[in-house]
């Protein structure tokens, strides 16, 4: 076995890719922004500096940034980015909403990654009749009405955030599986797979140890592009009122509320959508940079 796994080991391209990535300024900006915003959203709430994002003071509604005000019950409040329609702290809500949105992004992407990669790899590797059946299933799922499914799931599992992750992940894996399948189709004809086969590895071992690792490039690229796509989808669900449960916020729900109050209270749109757009921006450039760095051909799907 030792010899086989020694032979199996390939040379790492990671270092080369990293060097190339570092040269791409936009991608590096994307990477650091992503790291920064994640740290802020997940760590800042642990420190006792943020006000409760759900604490209302309706009498202090729609205040501008850097406002200090005293609520009717005598508590002093300081609004870094101003207050919303119920006198809640916009900054605290953005941080809190960011946690939800990023978590939706990560978890749904992880779900789609897991299903999509395995499904696509199996379909592509086994090929033939199974492949065509599996791909028709994907076609069918593509054309199913998403909204109905979400409503039905909502009632079965009670409206929860977990359901949201699941629903979104369940939609996003379809494209992933197509990409992986296309990769695998071209990979399985290559010499190293024959080599692995001649070493006596089982199909499972070949798929998981050789095929999937070699699809890593496009998968990584597509993953960085899935996170923003998922976050957008979450926002659209918020537009339909199917997203996160009130009074909690997500960036999607904050942007939606802001868009509604555009004329009366533009700050409610500007701050959340700026941070939302910047994050998506960062992810997209990171994805592009990774594609260039890993030298991944544009996928055909």
Partner 1 sequence: MIPRPLTALAAATLLFAGCEEERPVDRATREGILLLGNGDEPKALDPHLISSVGDSNIMRALFEGLVTYHPSEDATHAPGVAERWEHNEDYTEWTFHLRDDARWSNGDPVTAGDFVYAYNRILHPDLGSPYASMLHLLENGEEFNKGEIDDFSQVGAKAPDAHTLVCTLREPAPYFPDLVKHTTWLPVHKPTIEKFGNMTDQFTLWQRPGNHVGNGPFMLESWRINGGVKVIPNPHYWDRETVTLNGIVFYPLANNFTEERAFRDGLIHKTYIIPPDLIGYHKAESPEYIKLDPYAGVYFYRCNVTKAPLDNKSLRKALAFAIDRETIVKYVSQAGEQPAYGVVPPTEGGYQPHHGVEFDLDKAKAYLKEAGYESGADVPEFEILINTSESHKAIAAAVQDMWKKHLGIEKVTIANQEWKVFQTTLRELRYQCSRSGWIGDYLDPSTFLTMWRTGDDNNQTGWGNPDFDRLLTEAANQIDPGERFAKFREAEAVLLDELPMIPIYWYTQKYLLDPAVGGWHPLLLDNHPYKHVRLDPSKIPSE
Partner 2 sequence: MSTPAYILSRLAQSVFALFCIVTITFFLIRLAPGGPFSEDRVIPPHLVAKMEAYYGLDKPLPVQYLKYMGNFVQGDLGPSLGNKGHTVNEVIAQSWPVSATIGLVGLLIALAIGIPVGVFAAARPNSKTDYTLMAVATLGICLPTFVIGPLLAATLGLKLDWFDVFGWENSSAWVLASLTLGLYYAAYIARLTRGSMLDQLSQDYVRTARAKGVSPNATLFKHAFRGGITPVVSYLGPALAGLIGGSFVVESIFGLPGLGQHFIKAATNRDYTLILGTVTVFASLILLMNFIVDVVQTWLDPRRKLGA
Q: Please tell me whether residue 261 binds partner 1 under the rule CB under 8 A.
A: yes
Please, where are the H alpha helices in 188-215?
Answer: 191-198, 203-205, 212-214
CA 99 vs. chain centroid, Å, equals: 12
- Is residue 109 within 8 Å of residue 172, measured between CB atoms? yes
Binding window for partner 1 (CB under 8 A); candidates: 52-60, 118-126, 196-204, 215-223: 52-60
Report yes or no: 300 and 182 within 8 Å, Cβ to Cβ.
yes
Q: Out of partner 2, partner 1, none, which partner does residue 299 contact, by CB within 5 to 8 A per kind?
A: partner 2
Tell me the closest approach of the beta carbon of residue 160 to partner 1, in angstroms: 9
Task: State the binding partner of 235 from partner 1, partner 2, none, CB within 5 to 8 A by kind.
Answer: partner 2
Interaction of residue 291 with partner 2, rule CB under 8 A: yes
Q: Is 47 in the site for partner 2 (CB under 8 A)?
A: no
Q: Residue 31 contacts by C-beta under 8 Å, 6 or more apart in sequence?
A: 21, 282, 286, 289
The pair of structure tokens assigned to 291 is: 């594609």
Exactly one of 173, 252, 253, 290 binds partner 2 (CB under 8 A); that residue is 252
Measured from the CB atom, is 206 or 225 closer to partner 2?
225
Pick one of 86, 166, 216, 236: the residue that binds partner 1 (CB under 8 A): 86
The whole-angstrom distance between residue 217's C-alpha and the CA centroid of its chain comes to: 17
Residues 6+ apart with CB under 8 A from 296: 217, 218, 221, 290
> Which among 258, 272, 220 has a CA at the least distance from the CA of 13?
220
Residues that bind partner 2 (CB under 8 A): 24-26, 132, 136, 139-140, 142-145, 147-149, 151-152, 155-156, 228, 232, 235-236, 239-240, 252, 255-256, 258-259, 262-263, 269, 273, 276-278, 280-281, 284-285, 288, 291-292, 297-301
């Amino acid at each position: 076995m030792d010899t086989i796994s020694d032979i199996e080991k390939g040379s790492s391209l990671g270092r080369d890719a990293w060097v190339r990535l570092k040269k791409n300024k936009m991608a590096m900006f994307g990477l650091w922004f992503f790291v920064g915003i994640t740290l802020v959203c997940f760590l800042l709430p642990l420190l006792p500096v943020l006000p409760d994002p759900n604490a209302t003071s309706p009498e202090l509604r729609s205040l501008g940034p850097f406002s200090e005000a005293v609520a009717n019950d005598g508590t002093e409040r300081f609004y870094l980015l101003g207050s919303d329609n119920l006198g809640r702290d916009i900054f605290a809500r953005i941080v809190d909403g960011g946690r939800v949105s990023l978590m939706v992004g990560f978890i749904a992407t992880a779900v789609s990654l897991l299903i999509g990669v395995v499904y696509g790899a199996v379909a592509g590797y086994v090929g033939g009749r199974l492949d065509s059946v599996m791909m028709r299933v994907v076609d069918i799922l593509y054309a199913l009405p998403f909204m109905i499914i979400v409503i039905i799931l909502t009632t079965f599992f009670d409206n929860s955030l977990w359901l949201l992750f699941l629903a979104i992940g369940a939609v996003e894996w379809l494209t992933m599986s197509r990409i992986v399948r296309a990769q695998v189709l071209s990979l399985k004809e290559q010499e190293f797979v024959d080599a692995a086969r001649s070493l006596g590895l089982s199909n499972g071992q070949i798929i998981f140890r050789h095929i999937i690792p070699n699809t890593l490039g496009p998968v990584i690229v597509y993953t960085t592009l899935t996170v923003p796509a998922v976050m957008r989808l979450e926002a659209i669900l918020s537009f339909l009122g199917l997203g996160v449960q009130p009074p909690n916020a997500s960036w999607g729900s904050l942007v939606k509320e802001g868009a509604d109050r555009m004329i009366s209270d533009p700050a409610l749109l500007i701050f959340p959508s700026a941070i939302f757009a910047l994050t998506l921006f960062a992810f997209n450039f990171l994805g592009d940079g990774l594609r260039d760095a890993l030298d991944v051909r544009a996928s055909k799907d």
